[in-house]
A = this chain, B = another copy of it.
Amino acid sequence: MKVAKFGGSSLASSGQVKKVVDIIKADPERRFVVVSAPGKRHSDDIKVTDLLISLYEQLVAEKDPHRLIDAIYHRYEEIGTAFQVDRALLEKIHQAIQGLTSLPIKDNPHLYDTILASGENNNAKLIAGILKAQGLSARYISPQELGILVTDEPQNARILNQAYPKIRKWRKNPEILVIPGFFGITEEGNICTFSRGGSDITGAIVAAGVNADLYENFTDVDGIYSAHPGIIHEPELVEELSYREMRELAYAGFSVFHDEALIPSFKAKIPVVIKNTNNPNHPGTRIVHEKQKNDKPVVGIACDRGFTMIYISKYLMNREVGFTLRVLQILKDFNINYEHMPSGIDDISIIIRSNQLTEEKEEELLRKIAYEIDPDELRIKHGLAMVVVVGEGMRERVGITAESAAALARKKINLAMINQGSSEVSIMFSIPEKDEKAAIRTLYYTFFD
């Protein structure tokens, strides 16, 4: 049994929804359908979620919202009408959108979440109605009824452990259940949304809850590429990735998923497949707990920019107990997360994301380190990119590092850092940002052709 999640672009228009209906019809195993709000139909379009954000702003500013309500409703109406759904359903959706205007504005911490969640909620009702109109046994189910119980943290809800046994009870349900993504219900019955990428989380939660055989994530790409198509012409598509490989790639800019979205399915060891709504016969990219084969040592090459390196050197630093602890404590005091911390004998480099620093904060931080650590040398280097060569297959193959380093050396790309932990799922190279494209190209053509 499968959980199928459809993203906003897959549900943006009646034409797109037709493809979704066909996908659901094609496989009776697709019994849990998670939907986003209607997305963009073309690049200049406005997503329903963004219309709802505007609605929220207008309500708070006490402006007349009626044109926005029309615009939002129109999106559902366009789709529903094409499928000749019951007028009563469309009327219900219209009323639900209008009902948002009478929510209490003051002292209502759930206002924003409730308005935004309506985008998915109304779409789930609509899609359920469409499936029914197409002769399928389908119905809308609310997160409350399904049991998606979350913490009371507006815009940042986390699933509660007691949710899973509640969701599990729906496993044997004979109908196709259409579930709105993006939000859950608190124990007090309030709506709280997940952080960005939230519909993916809902899919992963439902898949874990009902112990699905597969979590299908339908989007608008054929899968995950082994390198960025903007840099490499027609890069290979990855057939199968382990969760850890996916995560390493996601870290360095492969933004198919929000980082945290897959935790529930990862923990429940449920495989995920990324498929294209517009090309559903393509097998897509599977993300699995344990890969069946590792015929390729490298599955992908990713790169991310915007890193800064702080270099601290002190003679015999190595002998000072608690030295790193003190450095980390300083970072924590400045609320700075570090990414990596390669060390020599008497030096340590701290790599952080540059967006955590302002000019002023940087100056204060360096002053603090100079004062507390009294280093022999203290330097900061901006404008670094992090290139990651990813692949579980590396475990079994000596020499990937040598080949990678040689490829970068041939292009005269200087390495500020190399980091290869014992996992060997990835090797990371820190290089100047200006060399990003050259680095990805030389590495790609070293491991793929």
Instruction: Report which A residues bind B (CB closer than 8 A).
Output: 243-244, 247-248, 251, 259-260, 263, 266-267, 309, 311, 313, 315-316, 318-319, 321-322, 324-325, 328-329, 332, 337-349, 379, 381, 388, 398-399, 401-403, 405-406, 408-409, 412-423, 425-428
- How far, in whole Å, are A274 and B244 apart by their CA atoms in the complex? 51
CB contact under 8 A between A332 and B322, given known A344-B419, A344-B423:
yes
Residue of B nearest to A399 (CB): B409
Closest chain B CB from A406 CB (angstroms): 4
Q: Is the CB of A337 within 8 A of B325?
A: no
Closest chain B CB from A95 CB (angstroms): 40
Residues of chain B within 8 A of A266, CB atoms compared: 315
Q: Is the CB of B324 within 8 A of A328?
A: yes
Residues of chain B within 8 A of A420, CB atoms compared: 342, 415, 417-418
CB contact under 8 A between A337 and B349, given known A315-B247, A422-B417:
no
**Interface hub of A315, A316, A329, A349 (most chain B Cβ within 10 A):** A315
Q: Is the CB of B401 within 8 A of A413?
A: no
Closest chain B CB from A359 CB (angstroms): 21
- How far, in whole Å, are A315 and B328 apart by their CA atoms in the complex? 21
Closest chain B CB from A256 CB (angstroms): 15
Q: Is the CB of A324 within 8 A of B338?
A: yes
Residues of chain B within 8 A of A412, CB atoms compared: 398
Closest chain B CB from A207 CB (angstroms): 16
- How far, in whole Å, are A240 and B381 apart by their CA atoms in the complex? 29
Residues of chain B within 8 A of A349, CB atoms compared: 421-423
- Give the dominant DSSP class at A's interface: mixed
Q: Is the CB of B398 within 8 A of A402?
A: no
Residues of chain B within 8 A of A313, CB atoms compared: 244, 423
Q: Is the CB of A343 within 8 A of B421?
A: yes
Q: Is the CB of B263 within 8 A of A426?
A: no
- How far, in whole Å, are A116 and B216 apart by their CA atoms in the complex? 76
Residue of B nearest to A414 (CB): B398
Residues of chain B within 8 A of A263, CB atoms compared: 315-316
Residues of chain B within 8 A of A345, CB atoms compared: 247-248, 251, 388, 426
Q: Is the CB of B339 within 8 A of A324?
A: no
- How far, in whole Å, are A259 and B428 apart by their CA atoms in the complex? 31
Residues of chain B within 8 A of A426, CB atoms compared: 344-345
**Interface hub of A345, A349, A399, A420 (most chain B Cβ within 10 A):** A345
Residues of chain B within 8 A of A416, CB atoms compared: 422
Residues of chain B within 8 A of A423, CB atoms compared: 311, 313, 344, 347, 349
Q: Is the CB of A398 within 8 A of B413?
A: yes
Contact of A325 among B267, B329, B413, B422 (CB under 8 A): B329
- How far, in whole Å, are A140 and B414 apart by their CA atoms in the complex? 55
Q: Is the CB of B259 within 8 A of A319?
A: yes
CB contact under 8 A between A419 and B419, given known A251-B318, A322-B332, A402-B408:
yes
Please name the 7 residue pairs, one residue from A and one from B, whose CB atoms are nearest each other, closest first: A399-B409, A402-B405, A402-B406, A349-B422, A418-B420, A342-B421, A349-B421
Residues of chain B within 8 A of A415, CB atoms compared: 398, 401, 420
Q: Is the CB of A344 within 8 A of B405?
A: no
- How far, in whole Å, are A398 and B406 apart by their CA atoms in the complex? 9
Q: Is the CB of B398 within 8 A of A409?
A: yes
- How far, in whole Å, are A263 and B247 apart by their CA atoms in the complex? 44
Residues of chain B within 8 A of A405, CB atoms compared: 399, 401-402, 405-406
- How far, in whole Å, are A338 and B406 apart by their CA atoms in the complex? 30
Residue of B nearest to A313 (CB): B423
